[in-house]
Amino acid sequence: VSALGDALASGFNVFAGHTLVGAAPAAVEATVLGWLRDLVGFPQSASGILLSGGSAAGIVALHTARVVALGRAGHDTALTVYATSDAHSSIAKGLRLLGFADEQRRMVTVDLGRCMQPDALRALIDADLAAGRRPLAVVATAGTTSTGAVDPLPALRDIGDRYRLWLHVDGAYGAAAVLVPDARAAVAGLHLWPTHSLSTRTSGGSNRTRSGVCLYAMAGA
């Protein structure tokens, strides 16, 4: 299906950058985003965008987290983002593209199953707060590229609530498990965060026909 969609999109070369001049593709995008929103249990008010792949979706998500914290043009070298060593390399690259120095990224310890350790995350945040830093976001992975590990989303949500952090769930590899009744429990918690985003991707068997999605929802919305 994605290969066919790619052929049609390339063949018709539709402009989809704005509703006013691309109403049909915008309607398709809104419909697809609505399907995904309902599948993962995001609120009706959630927004999103279709992108070229999981890397782009992660960048948009982290940009959104920063805009919500600081406004459109804001940056602060005290902002700090937390992820594990098993997070996809596109997260570190995306942060660099957004102007984050490597020192603004923290590596959270993983357990034997290669999942983020909530206690280690809490300790890092406490140390950063004590040092005057500004914790911004936690990047959890629902299905790491190397082992398929799913970070403990409900436990991370509790930490996010307490410290008022943004959670980005990189579900590029694992979020599609919501489509499989027997596997859905493995990614429980994709929608649990008060302010959060989810990125995922589809692939038609080759990277040439992949696409990405970023969904985001705000607290209280």
Ligand X SMILES: Cc1ncc(COP(=O)(O)O)c(C=O)c1O
Binding region for ligand X (CB under 6 A): 53-55, 88, 90, 141, 144-145, 170, 172-173, 201, 210, 212
Given its phi and psi angles, is residue 74 left (phi above 0), alpha (psi -120 to 50 degrees) or beta? beta
The length of the chain in residues reads 221
Of 53 and 135, the one with the shorter C-beta distance to ligand X is 53
Closest distance of CB 61 from ligand X, Å? 11
Nearest residue (CB) to ligand X, 117 versus 145: 145
Query: Would you put residue 41 in left (φ > 0), alpha (ψ -120 to 50) or beta?
Result: left
Nearer to ligand X, 86 or 128 (CB): 86
DSSP, collapsed to helix, strand or coil, labels residue 139 as strand
- Find the shortest distance in angstroms from Cβ 141 to ligand X: 6
**Phi, psi (5° rounding) for residue 167?**
-110, 125
Tokens representing 82 are: 């937390």
Amino acid at residue number 150: V
Distance in Å, CB of 191 to ligand X, minimum? 18
Nearer to ligand X, 125 or 214 (CB): 214
Half-sphere exposure of 152 (CA within 13 A, CB side): 17
Cβ of residue 139: shortest distance to ligand X, in angstroms?
10
